[in-house]
Amino acid sequence: MAPTIQSPRVSARALIIEEDALLVSCYRDDRGPWYVTPGGGQRRGETLHQCLVREVREEANAEIRIGRLRWVREFISARYPDSTLDPSFHQIEMIFECSLADAAALRLGDSPDPGQTGLRWLALSDLADVRFYPQEAARILLGEIDDRPYLGDVG
């Protein structure tokens, strides 16, 4: 019997910055809090934009306006010894610049991700002091490295 080949998971994420703060989804594990931009996995038959609208609505109760594709990031869990994800996990993330249609409605959505503990406006200046993923995006936003469209396989 031939081994099962699993395709990489495709994900869409929203980069929402207002007043020098980044909207993040909050999580916690045995090492403490960590943060990512809102978004998640694409469903079969769903465009990336449809995925992003749905995911932000589920996680943040928010409607968004989608802008340009800012970054593409890969994450291959087996290459990161401290990853808590299955070593076979491989995700490709499309990170879009977005804005909120109505910031007043912002709250933890009705269908948050398992383990999601909340939402937070994280000051860009604090990105270096917290566990934010992808770390390369934080370094670009902080001006530490040059911007580029493909971030690579980064934690």
Residue 95 has pLDDT above 70, yes or no: yes
DSSP state, 127? G
Domain ranges in the chain are 9-153
Superfamily (CATH H level) for 9-153: Nucleoside Triphosphate Pyrophosphohydrolase (3.90.79.10)
Q: How far apart are CA 41 and CA 43, in angstroms?
A: 6
Pairing of strands 9-18, 39-41: antiparallel
Mean pLDDT for the stretch of residues 117-127? 96
Q: What is the dihedral of CA 130, 93, 95, 114, to 10 degrees?
A: -60
User: Which carries the bigger pLDDT value, residue 144 or residue 114?
Assistant: 144
Q: How far apart are CA 153 and CA 155, in angstroms?
A: 7
Confidence of residue 9 (pLDDT cuts 50, 70, 90): very high
Residues 6+ away with beta carbon under 8 Å from 108? 59, 60, 61, 116, 118, 119
Q: Which helix (H) or strand (E) holds 25?
A: strand 21-29
Q: What is the pTM of this model?
A: 0.92
Mean pLDDT for the stretch of residues 51-55? 97
Residue 154 has pLDDT above 70, yes or no: yes
Q: Tell me the Ramachandran region of residue 143: left when phi exceeds 0, alpha when psi lies from -120 to 50, beta otherwise.
A: left
Residue 53 has pLDDT above 60, yes or no: yes
Looking at residue 114, what is its pLDDT? 84
The share of the chain scoring above pLDDT 90, in percent, equals: 79
User: Which carries the bigger pLDDT value, residue 115 or residue 35?
Assistant: 35
Helix (H, G, I), strand (E, B), or coil: what is residue 143?
A: coil
How many CB atoms lie under 10 A from the CB of residue 75? 23
Q: For residue 45, which phi and psi values (nearest 5 degrees)?
A: 85, 0
